[in-house]
A = this chain, B = another copy of it.
Amino acid sequence: MENRNRFFDVVAKGHLYLQNVSIDNVVFGYHNKELKILLQRPQNNNKWALAGGYIKRTESIEDAARRIASERTGLNGLFLKQFKAFGSPSRSGNIDPSLELAGKTKENWTLDYFVSIGFYTLTEFERVKPSGDFYIEECKWWDIHRLPAMVFDHQEIIEAALKALRLHIYHYPIGYELLSEKFTIPEIHALYETILGKSLDSRNFTKKLLATGIIKKTSERRNIGPHRSPYLYVFDTVNYKNALNEGMALFI
């Protein structure tokens, strides 16, 4: 009656979560010219994993992604973007490694073939205190250029997320979740350079970003020491939201 245990497992868990589907969040964190990703390491495991989890039967996939991201970062109202689904028998095994990787047996429902819906999210990483849970031994930020060994296909998921983010940035505004309410041109300039991983001519960047109308100048300046003080800018709420919905062209 080996299957019997499986039946009960399926049903017991099955009431709360969907089976064979999970969420993987690529949580990007930006601060001071550094782009990082939030990863977690399950107990008794030396590989790292994305902030993933399961979908409750009462929530949409977007809600699930939001909840899972919020459980790890402590933040609400994060910007979330679905970018791709991953699913093949060979990636088998669960995506939230909390159970499987902690050495659970083959009968466990989480060891099944999972299709994972990939989302990415953006946040200012100094605002975030990463927090794991009972099964997570560590949860921390990793620089995008120095990632540790990762479980399953999570490396590939990250690459796809970064590619999607870099495409996204040319068509939609970015920055609201990554900069303080008021920010300088050099700050947003550094943000774009960091995300795209390449340098952008500052004169042209300023010209084109202003032309989109998503930011506007204030009369205030930031005092940053022995230099000319940069003006502060804010996002233009109306234009920003509009560009988020309608898209825009930004050839930087």
Binding site for B on A (CB under 8 A): 3, 6-7, 10-11, 14, 18-21, 55, 57-63, 82, 84-90, 112-113, 115, 117
- Residue of A60, A85, A90, A113 most packed against chain B (CB within 10 A): A85
Q: Contact: A11 with B19, CB < 8 Å?
A: no
Given pairs A60-B87, A62-B88, 9 additional interface contacts (CB within 8 A) = A7-B11, A18-B113, A55-B87, A57-B113, A60-B88, A60-B89, A61-B85, A61-B87, A115-B117
Return A7 CB to nearest CB of chain B, in Å. Answer: 5
Across-interface contacts of A20 in B (CB, < 8 A): 18-21
Please name the residue on chain B nearest to A14 by beta carbon: B10
- Residue of A7, A18, A84, A115 most packed against chain B (CB within 10 A): A115
Q: Contact: A58 with B21, CB < 8 Å?
A: no
Q: Contact: B87 with A84, CB < 8 Å?
A: no
**A89 to B62 Cα, complex, angstroms:** 11
Please name the residue on chain B nearest to A84 by beta carbon: B82
Q: Contact: B10 with A87, CB < 8 Å?
A: no
**A37 to B38 Cα, complex, angstroms:** 41
Across-interface contacts of A14 in B (CB, < 8 A): 10
Q: Contact: A55 with B19, CB < 8 Å?
A: no
* 21 interchain pairs, CB-CB under 8 A: A3-B11, A7-B10, A10-B10, A10-B14, A18-B21, A18-B113, A21-B21, A21-B87, A55-B87, A57-B113, A58-B89, A59-B88, A59-B89, A60-B87, A60-B90, A61-B85, A61-B87, A62-B88, A85-B85, A87-B117, A115-B115
